Chains A and B, each alone.
Chain A
Amino acid sequence: KAGVTQTPRYLIKTRGQQVTLSCSPISGHRSVSWYQQTPGQGLQFLFEYFSETQRNKGNFPGRFSGRQFSNSRSEMNVSTLELGDSALYLCASSSGTDTGNTIYFGEGSWLTVV
């Protein structure tokens, strides 16, 4: 069974640009969560989608957005990039049917904003 797949793995963007990151969850999983992690920091929750609906949202500005498709694949977008957006962006999937479901992480997308 394939794990969570994130693309791209590494990318460099310029301030003011926008970026789209993609996540394919484990087959059969309907919940996808996104996290931001900066060096030495804990996981900061961005949002969670289940069956194409945003079910939870963290405390990030509106520049951060996401969506989920009917096949459970998800994308997140960051517009008007700032230097502080440089981070590891992690996607995690779970079945999403119980709050005790284990979540499984992808390898992450390393974003550098210059």
Chain B
Amino acid sequence: GQNIDQPTEMTATEGAIVQINCTYQTSGFNGLFWYQQHAGEAPTFLSYNVLDGLEEKGRFSSFLSRSKGYSYLLLKELQMKDSASYLCAVGRDSNYQLIWGAGTKLIIKP
């Protein structure tokens, strides 16, 4: 079947580094997306990985291993504004509907 797993909640300290994991099971994999969603707001696009490896964008990096069905989002130099939910979603080559994880709520403490 199709399934995405991510931790429900994580806590980290301002200035530190945090890694949010996402594991998936799906047929016809066609890329993995990460979105950030602040409370009461719409999700905003962070990254897209379709090939194995690490993609870096400033303080945020995303990694993908297709053979392991695994991705992570790495956030460096954490800021209070990074407190949000982080959603992992998988695209499939036979279907235009993304499969969404339930999201990881990240709490940043001073």
A12 contacts partner chain B, Cβ-Cβ < 8 Å: no
B16-24, B38-46, B55-63, B71-79 - interface stretch: B38-46
Contact among B42, B96, B100, B102 for A99, CB-based, below 8 A: B96
Within A32-69, which residues are at the interface with B (CB < 8 Å)? 33, 41-43, 45, 48, 50, 55-56, 58
B100 CB to closest chain A CB (Å) equals 5
Q: How far is the CA of A38 from the CA of B100 in the complex (A)?
A: 15
When C-beta atoms are compared, the residue in chain B nearest to A3 turns out to be B42
| Residues of A contacting B45 in the complex (Cβ-Cβ under 8 angstroms) | 102-104
B41 touches A99 (CB 8 A): no
Q: How far is the CA of A43 from the CA of B101 in the complex (A)?
A: 8
| Residues of A contacting B92 in the complex (Cβ-Cβ under 8 angstroms) | 99
A107 contacts partner chain B, Cβ-Cβ < 8 Å: yes
Looking at chain B's contact residues, the main secondary structure is: strand
Chain B 87-107 interface 0/1 with A at a Cβ cutoff of 8 Å (1 = within): 100011111111011110000
Q: How far is the CA of A42 from the CA of B50 in the complex (A)?
A: 23
When C-beta atoms are compared, the residue in chain A nearest to B97 turns out to be A56
A99 touches B93 (CB 8 A): yes
Within B1-41, which residues are at the interface with A (CB < 8 Å)? 30-31, 33, 41
A99 touches B48 (CB 8 A): no
A107 touches B41 (CB 8 A): yes
B66 CB to closest chain A CB (Å) equals 13
- 4 nearest interchain CB pairs? A42-B102, A105-B42, A100-B31, A56-B97
Other A-B contacts than A42-B102, A43-B87, 11 sampled, CB-CB below 8 A, are A31-B96, A33-B97, A42-B101, A58-B97, A90-B43, A98-B30, A99-B91, A99-B92, A105-B43, A107-B41, A108-B41
Chain B residues with CB under 8 Å of chain A are 30-31, 33, 41-45, 48, 50, 87, 91-98, 100-103
